[in-house]
Amino acid sequence: MTRRVGLSARRIFGVVSAVAMLAVVSGCGLLGGSEEKPTEAAAAPGKVEKAKITLGLLPILDVASVHVAIQKGYFKEEGLEVEAKIIQGGAAAIPGLVNGELDISFGNWVSFFAAEAKETAKSVDGLKLVSDGYQAKPEMFLILAKSDSPIKSPKDLEGKTIAINTFKNIAELTAKATLEANDVDPSKVTFKEFAFPDMEAAVQNGTVDAAFMVEPFISRAQRSSGQITVLDAASGPTADIPIAGYATTGKFVKENPNTVAAFQRAMAKGQRDAADRPTVEPLLVEYAKVDKETASLVHFGEFPTTLDATRLQRVAGLMRTYGLLEKDFDVKPMLVATSGS
């Protein structure tokens, strides 16, 4: 499908470029010339304070690195046992982190940054980012519609309802940015919450007109229902955008520095190995509950092995543009340095 990038997209690109440039030039905080350094996990390799951790996850491709690290024994090597707890999205993870039901959780950067800006986790010394998780590539963030739907192009989405997994998250942000880039007024689109596994059926039965899906649900919907791509939400102003990662609380970092450092070391290996399709495809069958053929068709994003403030600041810049942040926000103080960095 040919996608048009109009004046709105150029405006967005300008904002994003300015954000990136400011971050590079300052070499520190984006705002006000702050010299604040990232929070550091104070421990080199040592005995973990908490051997069994509860980790919030979604049943999506983005968290393949965790399952790789479990399968290959990377957590075990670090003295950790991971108990996975399924969540619906990053926004849903934050209460669990604050009340201690989750020790660490996967989530999208938008939800984490918005919560930190509102001081949602102030009682537990704020949210801290411990590992990158996933970064966009083409064909892995798609808005799909029924094969016989009159919706064939982004413009056809005006006045329609789109399913997203949670409100005010990376899905809503990238959808709005790419809709505007294709001359669609985002305010004329209605978003409705659905869990990723339920979106295909919601589109097929007409509960929604289209759905914002991720892998492996994209490939499953295309293969089993013949659903068609209306818009790639990881294109134009959102191409290569950082999507999600792993967060905990400042309180947990202070009380469990060796545990956090051990988690980071295991995740770095898992992130590295998750780029290997033959390793990941069988795991998708197990934890995402898709068949082998669907697993073989999924489009992979990037699995970054390091946290980078400049890269993540791009997300905060787009959030400011689209009103998901009320004021400028510096992500760097949220980052927990890996041991030895």
Residues 233, 263 within the same domain: no
Whether residue 76 is found in the same domain as residue 213: no
- Between CA 123 and CA 125 the distance in angstroms is 6
pLDDT of residue 87: 92
Q: How much is the average pLDDT of 68-75? A: 98
What's the mean pLDDT when you consider all of the chain? 88
Is the domain of 263 the same as that of 328? yes
Residues 157 and 202 in one domain: yes
Whether 50 has a pLDDT exceeding 80, the answer reads yes
Instruction: Quote the DSSP letter at residue 327.
Output: S
pLDDT for res 36: 40
Are both 190 and 72 inside the same structural domain? no
CA distance 111 to 117: 10
**Does 42 have pLDDT greater than 50?**
no
Report pLDDT for 239: 96
- Mean pLDDT, residues 34-53: 64
Residue 216's φ and ψ, nearest 5 degrees, are -90, 10
150-to-73, 147, 193, 264, 265 alpha-carbon distances in Å: 49, 9, 22, 47, 49
Give the separation between CA 255 and CA 249, rounded to whole angstroms: 10
Question: Do 278 and 194 fall into the same domain?
Answer: no
pTM > 0.85: yes or no = no
Of 155 and 38, more confident: 155
Q: Which of 3-17, 117-131, 207-221 has the lowest mean pLDDT?
A: 3-17
What is the C-alpha to C-alpha distance for residues 209 and 182, in angstroms, rounded to an integer? 18
Which residues lie closer than 8 Å to 10 by C-beta, 6 or more apart? Answer: none
d(CA 57, CA 60): 8
Is the pLDDT confidence value at 27 over 50? no
Assigned domain for 94 exists: yes
Residue 147 has pLDDT above 50, yes or no: yes
Q: Does residue 222 sit within a domain? A: yes
Q: Which of 212, 238, 264 is the last residue of a domain?
A: 238
Three-class SS state of 248? strand
Categorize the per-residue pLDDT at 204 as very low, low, confident or very high, splitting at 50, 70 and 90.
very high
Same domain, 169 and 304: no
Same domain for 129 and 249?
Answer: yes
Residues 151/88, Cβ–Cβ less than 8 Å: no
The answer to whether residue 36 is domain-embedded is no
On whether residue 8 sits in a domain, the answer given is no
Residue 283 lies in a domain: yes
- Tell me whether strands 161-164 and 210-214 are parallel, antiparallel or unpaired: parallel
22-42 burial, b at 16+ Cβ within 10 Å, e below that, comes to: bbeebebbbbeeeeeebbbbe
The predicted pLDDT at position 90 comes to 76
**Do residues 184 and 103 share a domain?**
no
Lowest-pLDDT range of 14-23, 71-80, 224-233 = 14-23
pLDDT of residue 33: 34
Please tell me whether residues 231 and 246 are part of one structural domain.
Answer: no
Cis omega (within 30 of 0) for bond into 216? yes
- Report how many domains make up the chain: 2
Residue 230 C-alpha from the chain's centroid: 21
Q: Quick check: 115 and 127 in contact, CB under 8 A?
A: yes
What is the structure's pLDDT at 34? 35
User: Which residue, 222, 124, 118, 146, is CA-closest to 105?
Assistant: 124
Q: Are residues 150 and 231 in the same domain?
A: yes
> Is 196 inside a domain boundary?
yes
| Banded model confidence at residue 286, pLDDT cuts 50, 70, 90 | very high
Residue 57 confidence (pLDDT): 97
Window from 15-19, 125-129, 163-167 with minimum mean pLDDT: 15-19
SS (H, E, C) 142-179: EEEECCCCCCCCHHHHCCCEEEECCCCCHHHHHHHHHH
Confidence of residue 339 (pLDDT cuts 50, 70, 90): low
AA letter at 320 = R
3-class secondary structure, 252 = helix
Nearest to 68 by CA among 212, 310, 333, 279: 279
Nearest-5° Cα angle at 250, 73 to 246:
40
Q: pLDDT (tens digit, 9 = 90+) per residue, 307-327? A: 999 999 999 999 999 999 999
pLDDT at 46: 78
CATH of the domain at 96: 3.40.190.10
Q: Would you call 335 helix, strand, or coil by DSSP?
A: strand
Segment among 42-46, 175-179, 200-204 with least mean pLDDT:
42-46
Evaluate whether residue 168 is within a structural domain. yes
- What domain range includes position 156? 141-238
Count of beta carbons in the 10 Å neighbourhood of residue 122: 12
Let me know: does 243 contact 135? Beta carbons within 8 Å: yes
pLDDT at residue 112, rounded to an integer: 96
Average pLDDT of span 78-98 = 92
Q: Check whether residue 161 and residue 217 sit in a common domain.
A: yes
